[in-house]
């Protein structure tokens, strides 16, 4: 007969036993399909009302009689990191079947500071007093309430903090005097921190020994500093106090409370100490630059860069700036702009190639701010000082994009062509084809784009539509190229005062002047619609919208027409996804409003359209920061960071 493994029996027994130990107001729910989680406990008050407080439980059962084995559990480091990432705290409960009791600890209290970098597992030992049955369950409630406040970034200010000095450690003064002096020193920052002796009140606890200052947030060891105690009493107190403040700021910053962290750094008079330690400064940079203290942060970094010969900090700062940049915050942009120019000035007399790199990064900043003419100016200046750019495909591709945005299509096409000659990057092919199309080289554009569309499974829907558009121009209208006359085409396409008999002729003449005249295609679409040729109207509205990408009405008209025909060759999906990718919510709301006005029962249609729209990825223009490697190749370190 089949037998059931002992370990499975123990696991079920531990689950039953743990439920019994809970207060009657608490509810345990089994979780069988969650990775590393056996149950969930929800806390209700004495009146049976939910408090909204929850914690997860990971049960570990043993029937060993060896006390050392009972008190030790082995965990995968990845599992512990997973527990720390969860929004709900995880209680590890070790069931000792021999003595019928539980030992417990919170997963986030396990300190991975000493784990070797490549270490896959770690042995964890339960502390004395960790017996679950003797713990006051009200303390669990206090802990969960503080955890919830921390998760919501709703900290009490000043932050209750408890300071403990290891009794086994010896200093040049006795531990009680040292603790008192540290508390008095911290009192100078009583608008941010208040010391307490009440463990239930404290959100942060500080453990000090002769080698380390450890900062814990609700038991979570967020920051650990190694230090050598000074032999002078005053310096000792200042050193430990500064490390406490830096540790609290770091722990808070890791919780993305960037403004509070920056306030501690800049109002606590520890910014100079932070600036002297490159490793600490690097850790704080992203948070300081995302705070309202970014101006102070940039000034601090500028002072450091005067002596930074390695340039590492400068590159890291540029990275953080581009990641943190808020395009709508002009004050922030102005501060960043000044900082970048300052970096360039510092490097100008030291290293011409580095100066060229800094000029490029200024251009990159302007590109991210959608200021193409300024960006072009600094890109072109950069290559005079940094010859490596002449060998970089991305450099010419970026210039191609910038010249495209200022309607210099021939220059744009030449730069894209040069980029592809240096590096055959697939993403540049449709951009090159687009530039060729706006040059009037329709056949060459189609020859470039069509193979790309046929070979790429996940190409953007806009390129599929443009390929369809080019195919119509070349194969239906038999036009391979054209010297575009935009002004004449727009003049002819304006048919507001034209007689009905001459409309078609004027619109045909408009296309003969410029097949990329959006107004002509829009009016052609309206004519087709009046003549009940709905498919032709839809196609013409698509062409018009491709040429005037932010014309929401044109896109809505195209989709509305396609919804009224049975056969549309998949055009409707490409059209919806392209329109939404370009115009986002303005397209969605306009389309749904149109449908609600024109359809008796529009809900089923809207549901179907919503299913298409929700598959669209949110396109974000990634900032880039490039630095030369040992071979002189310019690598995008932002891209490398994101891959990590």
- Asked whether 95 and 13 are in contact (CB, 8 A), the reply is yes
**CA gyration radius, the chain:** 33
Determine the pLDDT at residue 41.
Answer: 93
Regarding pTM above 0.75, the answer is no
Residue 26 domain flag: yes
Determine the pLDDT at residue 637.
Answer: 41
Place of tokens 């309206």: 526
Residue 449 domain flag: no
The strand pairing partners of 207, in sequence order, are 164, 214
Q: What is the CATH number of the domain that holds 50?
A: 3.40.1350.10
pLDDT in tens, 239-271: 999 999 998 888 888 888 888 889 988 886 788
Residue 342 domain flag: no
Q: Average pLDDT in the 300-310 region?
A: 67
- Asked whether 305 and 358 are in contact (CB, 8 A), the reply is no
Residue 112 domain flag: yes
Q: What is the CATH number of the domain that holds 565?
A: 1.25.40.10
pLDDT at 409 exceeding the cut of 90: yes
The strand pairing partners of 125, in sequence order, are 72
Point out the domain boundary residue: 149, 168, 185.
149
Domain around 497: 484-613
Burial of 10 (0-12, 13-18, 19+ CB in 10 A): middle
Determine the pLDDT at residue 638.
Answer: 42
Point out the domain boundary residue: 93, 121, 149.
149
Alpha carbon 560 to chain centroid, angstroms:
36
Q: Both ends of the chain: CA-CA distance in Å?
A: 51
Point out the domain boundary residue: 96, 114, 149.
149
pLDDT in tens, 555-584: 999 999 999 887 766 899 999 999 999 999
Q: What contacts 581, CB < 8 A, 6 or more positions away?
A: 460, 461, 462, 616, 619
* Tokens describing residue 367: 């590109």
Residue 569 domain flag: yes
- Which carries the bigger pLDDT value, residue 497 or residue 442? 442
d(CA 103, CA 124): 12
Tally of domains within the chain:
2
Residue 297 domain flag: no
DSSP state of 255: T
Residue 116 domain flag: yes
Residue among 381, 408, 414, 382 nearest 396 (CA): 414
pLDDT at 616 exceeding the cut of 80: no
Residue 68 domain flag: yes
- Asked whether 572 and 559 are in contact (CB, 8 A), the reply is yes
């Amino acid at each position: 007969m089949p037998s059931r493994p002992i370990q499975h029996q123990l696991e079920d027994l531990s689950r039953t036993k743990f439920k019994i130990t809970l207060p009657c107001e608490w509810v345990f729910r089994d979780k069988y399909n969650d990775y590393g989680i056996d149950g969930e406990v929800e806390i209700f008050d004495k009146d049976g009302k939910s408090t909204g407080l929850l914690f997860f439980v990971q049960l570990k059962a043993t029937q060993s009689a060896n006390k050392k084995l009972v008190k030790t559990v082995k965990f995968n480091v990845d599992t512990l990191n997973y527990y720390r990432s969860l929004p709900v705290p995880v209680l590890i409960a070790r069931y000792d079947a021999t003595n019928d009791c539980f030992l417990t600890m919170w997963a986030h209290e396990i300190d991975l500071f000493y784990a070797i970098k490549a270490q896959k597992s770690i042995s964890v030992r339960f502390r004395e007093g960790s017996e679950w049955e003797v713990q006051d369950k009200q303390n669990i409630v206090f802990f969960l309430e503080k955890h919830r406040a921390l998760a919501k970034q709703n900290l009490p200010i000043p932050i209750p903090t408890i300071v403990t000095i290891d009794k086994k450690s010896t200093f040049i003064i006795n531990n009680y005097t040292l603790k008192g002096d540290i508390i008095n020193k911290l009192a100078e920052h009583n608008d941010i921190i208040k010391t307490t002796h009440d463990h239930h009140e404290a959100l942060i606890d500080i453990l000090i020994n002769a080698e380390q200052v450890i900062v814990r947030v609700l038991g979570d060891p967020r920051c650990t500093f190694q230090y050598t105690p000074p032999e002078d009493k005053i310096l000792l107190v200042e050193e430990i106090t500064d490390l406490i403040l830096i540790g609290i700021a770091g722990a808070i910053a890791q919780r993305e409370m960037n403004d509070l962290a920056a306030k501690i750094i800049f109002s606590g008079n520890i910014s100079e100490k932070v600036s002297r330690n490159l490793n600490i400064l690097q850790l704080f940079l992203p948070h300081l630059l995302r705070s309202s203290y970014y101006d102070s942060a940039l000034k601090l970094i500028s002072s450091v860069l005067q002596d930074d010969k390695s340039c590492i900090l400068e590159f890291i700062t540029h990275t953080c700036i581009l990641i943190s940049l808020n395009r709508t915050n002009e004050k922030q942009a102005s501060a960043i702009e000044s900082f970048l120019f300052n970096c360039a000035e510092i490097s100008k007399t030291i290293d011409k190639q580095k100066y060229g790199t800094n000029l490029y990064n200024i251009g990159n900043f302007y590109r991210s701010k959608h200021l193409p003419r300024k960006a072009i100016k600094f890109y072109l200046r950069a290559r005079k000082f940094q010859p490596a750019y002449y060998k970089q495909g991305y450099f010419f591709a970026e210039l191609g994009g910038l010249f495209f945005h200022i309607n210099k299509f021939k220059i744009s096409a030449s730069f894209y062509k040069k980029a592809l000659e240096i590096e055959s990057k697939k993403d540049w092919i449709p951009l090159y084809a687009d530039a060729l199309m706006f040059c009037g080289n329709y056949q060459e554009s189609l020859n470039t784009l069509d193979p790309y569309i046929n070979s790429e499974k996940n190409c953007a829907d806009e390129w599929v539509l443009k390929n369809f558009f080019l195919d119509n121009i070349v194969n239906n209208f038999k036009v391979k190229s054209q010297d575009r006359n935009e002004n004449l085409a727009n003049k002819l396409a304006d048919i507001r005062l034209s007689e009905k008999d001459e409309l078609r002729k004027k619109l045909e003449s408009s296309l003969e002047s410029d097949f990329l005249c959006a107004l002509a295609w829009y009016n052609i679409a309206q004519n087709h619609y009046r003549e009940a040729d709905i498919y032709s109207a839809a196609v013409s509205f698509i062409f018009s919208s491709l040429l005037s990408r932010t014309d929401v009405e044109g896109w809505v008209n195209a989709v509305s027409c396609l919804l009224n025909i049975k056969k549309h060759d998949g055009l409707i999906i490409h059209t919806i996804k392209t329109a939404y990718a370009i115009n986002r919510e303005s397209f969605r709301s306009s389309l749904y409003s149109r449908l609600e006005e024109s359809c008796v029962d529009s809900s089923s249609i809207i549901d179907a359209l919503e299913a298409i729209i929700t598959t669209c990825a949110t396109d974000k223009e990634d900032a880039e920061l490039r630095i030369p490697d040992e071979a002189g190749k310019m690598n995008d370190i932002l891209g490398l960071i994101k891959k990590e």
